[in-house]
Each structure stands twice: as structure tokens, then as C-alpha cells.
Structure 1
Amino acid sequence: MADVEEPKFNTLADRIAALNQQKNFTSPPTAGKRPPPPPPPAAGKRQPPQIPASKANNNVPSQSPSLPARPQKPNPPSLPRRTNTSASAVESLQGRDAPPPLPNRASTMQPSPALPTRRPSAQPLHSRRGSNSSEVSHVSTISNLSLNPASSRTSTTSTDTQPARRVLAPTLDQAKLPPLPPSRKEREAQAVRDAAEKEATEVVKAPLLTSRSAPAVPAVGGSRPGLPPRLPSRPGNSTMHSQVDDSPSVTPRRLPPPPSAFVRPSTTFESSSRPGPPGPRPGPRPSADAPPPVPVSSRPTFAQIDAVAERTTADCLICRDFSGPDSVAAQYPNHSLPRHDPVGYLANVLCGPFSSATDKARAIFTWCHHNIAYNVEEFFGKCIKGRNVDDTIFYGKAVCQGYAEVYQAIAQRAGLQCVVVGGHGKGYGYKPLGRGEAPPPKDPSGHAWNAVCIDNGEWKLLDACWGAGSVGDQKYHKQFKPQMFCLSNDLFGLKHYPRDDRYFFRNDGRIPTWEEYMIGPVQGEKAEFFGTAMDEGMSEFNFSPALKHIPVYSGEVVRFQLSKVCEHWIPERHGKGKSHLLLMKIQGVDGRKEDFVPMQTDGFWWWADIPARDLGAPGQGIFLYALATLNNKDARGVSKEEYYRTMASGSYSMSWAIYAKWELV
């Protein structure tokens, strides 16, 4: 059956008229206009009974009670009738519950042509933000990094039935990465190739036969001795014990003894070998690369070499011989000085005999020790009086500021560059920080010292006040402490913090912080290290344990050790004689048996390894002793074997000097 073309209508009235003309459609009867409601009844009048709608005649319209007219507002005008509709068509639709069903399109009208495929909109994103329902679609579009906006599948109101177009990201260009470093196998192979090339291109020379011509000249400054052997592993810590090698500890390094057949030559480069049997001398060695002979006239003697060796220790102030400046400084007491210009007189007599700036600085330092005492009366009475340099020299008493001013005045008159440095010093009244205790606020004040320019233009820090003596129990104890002149600037800075950062004069040029200075190398109360050890050339900076309190029940092996102040220090030359035998006085298990443990030494280090359980009981003290006398004789140079033999004899007498002290906890 052929499709019938569907007629087209321009207006709604034409459509209604066409529907009325169809056979199966009957227009409803025209109903009259509903009359207005009756006016309300007057007050006091009885309302007539209402007739129910079910009993009323269907052809007679039911009348509802009329409302009273509103005098204030007139009735609104009726809406004008539409011009594009006919009255009959409008009236025919009134009074019906629903319009009749539309005729079948397939039988009366041609189907509408299919719409073309919808093209994606090129509308920008910001133009679609007017609707609340497109918020999710907009977020989804941004998260998918799509350049063209499309309908989101997650939109709650989207009616788009077209499949979503999947937009792929553009292809990422490969980055230009640096080449990987060669692997271990490649490096080893390259090293083998380089060694082969070097061996192929290296010129092979005839070997030179070595011959001993003279003993080795000592190097400037000398080499530092080796460290003491390693502390054995701790038995109480199984984890640490498993990680420590069980191989025997390394013994201290010692130089081998010279051969017994060695004969010292008369000159430096003269052969030390014994003359051979008489006979013809062998000819020269057939080598084109042999060095030319050394002229005999330029060969130094052993006396000249020994003089050079003596001068090499002059760079070390600890080992330098200051007997000349110290003896001159003791010859001019303050009561023998002229009243007129005492500073100029001291600068002349103390520094005039010496050409070295270091010796001049040392002479002034030693003179302050002999002639100025610390003014404990004014210090503890808090009534320090300001005096000029001349008055301080003749009065013979001063505090740290007076020491520094006197030293500066004499040094500058002698032609030395010298300044007074003010700052903080860990002297009398200083209390070390406890474990975990925060440093106090920065306050570099309360002390004064000097910086003087010595040989080779080197600035040297020194403390003439602390070098003259010390204060204890509100009394002044006069005692010469040369280490306050000989200490390096780095070690000097452990107890002195200048107010001006320019006056640290460290070898590395670094400026320590206030917190670093106050905490120090070890935080906590340090063990007592006595001056008797310093007088014997022992260093207070290399002894351990550095802390005063040692736990007894730690299950560890405690290493006690100390060293000389300098690798050049020779007790017979720089000290008072041979070194003492050092002994650790312990109390035994639970403090029930007193015992002495000799220390081992390699000439520079002294050490002893003792289990903490054998040290004693908590509350007891242990000491580091130096054997002073043995059987009423000087015990300098007594070895450990001699000490054991004397103890085994059962008849002996001993005395000791205390070097250090610890407490057990």
C-alpha cells in the first residue's frame, strides 16, 4: 500500500478544521458560556439547599453560589480571543475529557526524512556553564584532557545517545636522556685495556742499583705515631660482637732496630759499607741512565744535619726550647723597675736579646707569671678598681683584663702586633652542661686574653692570666702553665670564645657557634685531669673516658688511654726525666679487692682495657696513678716487668702521683 502524503497545516485552526471533517471524528456540541456565580445572600437569610451534582440534570448546567463583587478591584478584563483560531474549533474542544487519538501516520502521511548525523559542537567550554546539570560533564571533560567538548557519560541529565568519541593523547616524544655510566665490568675491561696500552708505550729503563749512602734526614714536623690498638669487642652486646672481626688487635707500630753491621759514616753521603778486600776496583756500571756523581765539597756533615733536625721542632711551640726567654723574664722583678716608663724598660730588657718574635712574646708571657698575681680580694669582693698599666705593674695584682692590658702594652712597645681579646672563658665558676641540657643564651663576656703576631706572621692566642696560676677556694695558687702559650688556636678555642669573630684565628678559618662552644666535644661533667700529668707532658685533650661518671653494670670493656702533648716530646729533654709507669687503681668486683693495673705504652700512647664489672662498686672512685717511688727510690723509667717482680717479692714500698680520677655509678 502506497504511503499517502500527509497534508501540511499552517495553523492550529486549520488542523482542527481538518479533524472535524473526518468521518470518525464528531465535534462536541457547542456549550454556552458559563454564567457568573450568584451574589452572596444577605445577612440573616437562610441559604437554599444545595442540589448534589449527581442528581442534577446533565443538560442543565449546575449553578454555584456567586461571590460578592469586589468594590475595590474591578473584575479583570477577559483575554482577547486569538485571531488564528476559529470559534467553532475552540468550542468543539471544550467539554471533552481528552482529544481523540490521532490518525495513523503510516496510513495518511509520509514519514519525515531522517536527520543527518550530529556533528560535534565546537562551542567553547565556558559557554556551557549556564546549566547546573552540565557541571559534572564539564569536570569530566577537563579530567579526560579532551580538546573538543563532548557529552559526559557521568552527567545525570544528559540525553545524548551518540557513542562517546575516544580521544587519545598525542604521542609523547622520547626524552633525550644522558648516557648511562659504565658498569663495573665495563670499567674493569677499560682499565685492563689502558694498562695494556700503557705497558706497550712505556719506555723500559735499566734499573738502578740501590746503595746506602747516609741515614735518612728527619722530615720537618715528624710523623704522628700510630694509634693505640683497637678496643676489644663488647661481650654484652651480641649484635656488635657479631659485626666485629675476631682477628687479634693490631700491635702498636714500632720502627725496626738498625742492623748491627751498620757503621756511621763520617760525612753525609759517604758510603756506610765496610771496605772490601784489596784488589782492582770494578769499573763503572754500564748504564747510560746513571746519575752524575755528587760533588764532595757540597756534602754536609752530621753536625749540620743534627742542627737542622733541632730547628725542625722549633715550629712546634710545645717542644721548642724557651729556656732563654724564661731565664731573662725571671731577672727583672717589678720592685726593681724604674718609676719612669716601666713599660719601655721592660720592652727593652725582655725582648731586646731576641730576634724571634715568638721568643719575645714568650718572655713577656713568663714575666707576667713572676710579677702579677690574681686580685682575689677585689674579684670576690666585687670591687674591682680600674688602674692604668704602670700602676698594675707596680701594684703586682690584677684580674684578667689587667693581665691582658699589661701584656699588650709591653708587646707593642717591643714592636709586636698585639690586641686585647674580650669574650667568655671556661674558668672559675664555669659549670659544664649536663646531658640534654640546653646551652644558655649567647653572652661572650667576663674574660680577656691576647692575640700576638709571632714568627712567619702567624697570629697566636695566649692567656697570660691563666698561665700565671689558678683560683681555688677563693685563693690564688701561683703555678706556671706554659700550655696557655703553647696550645694551638683550635685547642685554645675550646675554652675561649671571643666577642669579635675575627679573633678565632683557627687553622681552618671556621667560626664555631656559641652552642658548639658551650656543649664542647663531650657533653657532660668531665673527669678530673690534674696538673701533675700536664707537667709530665700528658695531654688533657686526648685522655678517655672523658666523662667523669662510668657505669659499672654496663657489661662493657672500658678503654682508659692518654697520650703525650706532642709527638716531638721527649721526657728527658723537655720534661723532668724518664716517663713514669702509669697504673690504674681499681676496687675489684663489688669493691672488695683493691688492685693496680699497669698501662701498656708505645712511647706516645698509654692504654689499658678493663671490664667495667672489675672497676668496683657504684659510689667508689678509680684513679690513674704515676709510680713516683719504688722502695724509696725514684721510679722514673721503671718497666712493667720490674714492677711485677717487686710486687712478687712481697717486700716493697711505693708512692704515687695522681693524674686523673673517675667516679663509678
Structure 2
Amino acid sequence: MGEEFRPRSIQERIAALNQSHINNESAPKKTPPLPARPSALRTVPVPGGPMNVSHDVTVAGNSATSPTLNRDGTSPQTLPVQQNHDTQTNAQKQPPPLPRRKSTQPAPALPPRQPSTQSRPQPERKASLESIASSASGMTTTTSTSGTSGSVGTKNVIRAPAWGETELPPLPPSSKRSPPSLPRRPSGINSSTVAEQPRPTPKPPPPATGAATARPSKPALPARTPSYTSNGSTETRRVPPQLPARRPSSHQPAQSPGEQDATTGVVRSVSRRLPPVVSPNEISKIRQSSLSVLSKHAEEPEAPVTNGHSNQSAQPEPPPVPLASRPDLSAIQATKPKFQPSASQTSNAMCLKCRDFSGPDNHAAQFPRTSLPTHDLGWLAQQLTAPFPSLTDKARAIFTWLHHNIRYDVDAFFNNKVKPSTPAQTMQTGLAVCEGYAGLFATLAAHAGLDAHVIGGHGKGYGYTQLPPGASLPAFESNHAWNVVRIDGGQWKLIDCCWGAGAVENKGQPTFIHRFDPEQFTQTNDEFLLKHYPERIDQFYTDDGRPKWAWEEYILHNPDRPFGVEPPTIFNVAHEEGISRHTVRPVGKQVSINQPGPMRFQFGLICEHWSVTLHGKKSAPYLFLLHTHGVDGRKDEMIPFTHVRGTAPNGGGDWWYVDIADPRILGAPGQKLGVAFLTQLGQRTDGRGLSVEEFRANFGRVNMAWSYVLQWELVA
């Protein structure tokens, strides 16, 4: 560039002004060319007062910089400089040549910089239009103000300090608290292997071209320890104290090399350790002890650590746990109700006829509907079924509870006022028809974890009559509902809760008889289907695996006459003694005295597993007698039955029989032939366990009492 600008003194400026007046008077007025502008200029923004107007003042002697932006990010606007009339007149005259600055003359020193605690722009100074205009009128350097040139004084020249030539003032102490102590270092890491990541050193900017190249080299900035936080305050980072080395532990998982702690930001260099080699003996011990862990270091106690330092002082061992006060699990379980199946149930769990349901039945009777604290069906299902692990017992408890707490709505059924109801409504009112029974059972079973469904179809219940011979076959009609539930062994069991709760009798004035019928739960599916025909083909669940029964076969079959004839009369006491109506012979109600002999009369118990003593809870079976009337009905006689013990493991499956060589001794036509058991013989008021020899020795000599269980009619 050309000659370097040198500021002039006041005397030189006055002399230059006088010379210019003299030249203007003598010489013709001629506009001289403007001197060349120095290439190295620095523009400094001058605050512009309320309008935020800034001046671009040219500063010589420093490297060029870009203009400064306003606070809102816009470019600073230039303000026209007010000049007087004399200055405008002298601008048309040729100014005197500027003296040259020596190349070796150093730049004037800058004033000391005001201390600052922030790296943000300096706060605004006083910036009024009057002060800007008065300052601009006394300057001699050229000013770029919207195309108008002016003069700038030397004392208003602003020089920015070169980078790296000054030191920042010390920052005030931090007002924040000291950082919290570091967390406890995991065992197995040596403090010598932990190193803090070095802080990168800031690099100086590249050297400026032009006049700045002649300056001496700038010294490097010292390392700055304080760091600025987001709010402008300083915070000095403290190096945490080194933790003592811990004893290596085989149970401490090894960290990967170079892993950085998320809490402290410290990079840890941990060497990976291989697990110890397991000997063949230890492998065999592990296989034998299953879940036990064998390690020779497992029993070594680790030194306790407090605040990052190991506590070497001996700590007292905790007292041993008193075993006497430890709760006994067996004693707790003994207080809960347990209903374990008997040996006979274990031998044949699928036979429900001989299964002892006294546990579920007695438990279900303890939850009357009117005394429940809540009508929540889920709570009730859990209370009824929780003590029983067997699915069959769970279903039986719900079946029995419906018998005790839900009554058949006779008024709604016979007056055509039956409306669809929900299980909650049935629970609230305690009244239901067959659909309400089935829906409530399915809901309670679902809450108890059972798989149960409602089946609709035809039922041979109240009002059913057998079709007369030659009558037309009626169409299918759905008039009943029942359930199917999955019990033990995955078996699907058909049950009827409505008929199990009681029966409707008295055709003139129907009345619900509250009578428990366990056969609606225990009978086989084939026996159940004699009175139930589902509307869907996949809901038969037959025992023999047949896909379905034909509608004609079902509707023409009379369930009260399984063998096609009217069966003999069976009294209720027979069910109490475990006698099954399917085992009674002869199967017909009428017995001819003129048929050839011999003739056998027999009966047996409910099933081959049922025992009078085990399932019937009786001390011994009764002595059964066949009461005949002799030839022409003129001589009554009591013939004892032969008792055949069952071959089941617990004595179940007993049966009784008697053979009559000549049927004419049974009596005359029209007389009744019955089977009775002795209830009293002489001084013996209990006839159980009475032998045939005792009966024959005292027959006709002492008083006797008996009760009938079966009865036939004698015909010619």
C-alpha cells in the first residue's frame, strides 16, 4: 500500500487551513482529486441512540474486519455527518499533501481494555445525534457515511487489541456449590488405570495478511481453568480424589476397555479378565447340586467401603436369626381348609358317582346369598373355589351354591313374564329360570378359571309326555338351557344346575320344590342326553364318541322307561343306601307268577367303586329281604338276599341277589312284591350288620321292623 498515515498536531492543522485560504484566493478554483483511501481499514460501529443508528468509522493501522451487526441481527445503518459551510467550501479546494509515516514507526499503544465477565458484545454507550455530529466535524480521516466524506480526530480512533496480546482479567469466584462427590467406584478397577480425558488446547487463528505480517509473533495463550456455565457464571472443575485400589473379586463383571462412566464422564481403561477354569470335579458337583453355585471366593467377605475409603476397623457381626420365631409353613397350611381326594377317587378320578363331594358341598353352604358382603361375582367365585385344586371340585362347589341360593321363578315362567336377565340380575334377585341358572354358572366358572359354556336345546322336563303310538313326529323346539364344563383330565362334563336345584310339581298349582339332585352333576353324558337334546350338532359330548343322536331317536325314547317298559317302584331310601335303579332286576314293574322258574331278583350299588361304608358313611349295610306271599297269597315269608362283596380296592361294587325256583310262591296276581331291609330285630334297634343266621334264629320269635326300597306288581 502507499504511505502510511501519520496523525498531525494542532499547529500543523492550523497552518494547513491558513495555507488553503491563501491558495484559494490566488489560484483558480479547481477541484483536486481525492487522495487514495488506505487499503487496511477497520470499521467500528458507533451506537446510534434511540433509533439504533450506527456509524462506520474507518480506523487506520489495523487489519480489516467486517462491520458489526446490531443486536437484532440487521446490518448497521450509516448516519449522515453534519458539516458546516466552511468545511463544504474547503472540500472543493485542493488539500495539502499528507506526510508519510515511517515504515519503522510502530502503531500507537491501545488503551487498557475494560474488564468483562462475559463473552457477549459490550453494553451500549451514550449515543446521541449531537455527540456523533460534533465528533465527526473534527475528524481528518475519511468517513463512509452514506456517500458523504468528513474528518475524524486522532483521539477518536478505536483500535481493537490484537488476538493473544492481552490477558483477560480474573473472573469472580463461582457462587455455585461444590460438585457432589463421585459415586462409589466398582471393585476390581485400579485407580492407577483411571485417567481423565485431556482438554483440547484452542488453536490460534491463522496470521493476517498485509500490514499484520510485519508485527512480531504473538505468544500462545495460557491454559484457562475456569469454564463458563450457561448462565454466565464461572465454575472451577475439581479433580476427584483417587479411590484406593480394591481387592479383585471373581464375581465382579469385567467392563470393556475404554468404557466411559455416565455419571463422572471419566474414561476407564479396564483390562478384561478371563473366567477361572472349572475343573471336572466342580462340573460334576454343579450337575448334582442343580441350582447351587460353587466358587471358592464366594465366602470371602469384602471390606466395607464408606465414602470412598475402605473401613479396616473390625465391624461386629450381626446376631444370628432366631429360628424359633421363624414361621412354620406347614403350620400355616394346616390352618387352611384342605379337601384331599380319598383313595377311591385317586384310583378312578373320572367316576363322579362314587366321588366324595362332601368338601365342596359343605363349603358352598357357608356362603348364603343374603349374607354376602358384596355381590361381586369375581369375589364370590374365588371364595367358593379357592380351597380346591381340582377342577371337578371347583365346578361342584358352584353347582351346589346355585342349589342353595337361586330359586326357580315359577311366577314368571307360568305367566309368560320371562325376560332376558344377566348373571348380575340373577345374583341380585335370587330368581331365575333355566337360562338364568346356566348363565350364572358360566360366569362364576369363568371367574374361577374354568372353561364352561351355555348350551341351549330341548329338555324333557316339567310337562313332558310320551308320544302316543302312531302320533306324528314333532319338530325340534328349544325350551331349556344347561352347561358343559371341562373338569379333571380334560373331560367335558354335561351338567344341569336348574334341575339340580329342585323340581316343579303340582300341575294344577305349580310349585318349586327345593330339593338337591346331585345326579344332574354325577350322571354320565350318555345318561344326561336321554333328557337333553342340544340345538347344535357339536354340543352332544357323548361318552362313546358318537357325533350326535338322531332327533327321532331322542323324542321317541322315554327316559322313565330305559328298557321300553315301566320300571319297578324305587323308593327314596334306595338312593340313600346307594342302590342304582339301572341295576334292578327284573326291569319291568309287572312280574308274572306263571312264567317258568327259576327267577332271580337282584340289585347293586351306584357303581363298581361305590362303598356303603366309605361313600355312604354307614357303619355296615342292611340285611335285605324279599317279602313274598306264598301260593295263592296265603303265607307271608321273608327270604334274605345273598350279599356279594365287591372286588374294588376299598370294597366297592357290592350287589345282592336271591333266586326263586317256583315263581308261584311269590303270591297271587294283584299282590305287591317288595324288597325291604330290617331296621329292628328284638332288642337290636339298628339292623346294620345283621347276619342271615341271626335273622333266621330270631324270625317269628321277636318283634321286627322293616322298610321297603323296591316294589313290583304280581300278574298272572
TM-score under structure 2 normalisation?
0.46
Q: TM-score, normalised by structure 1?
A: 0.49
Q: Which has the higher helix share?
A: 1
Using CA pairs below 8 Å that are at least 6 residues apart, which structure has the higher relative contact order?
1
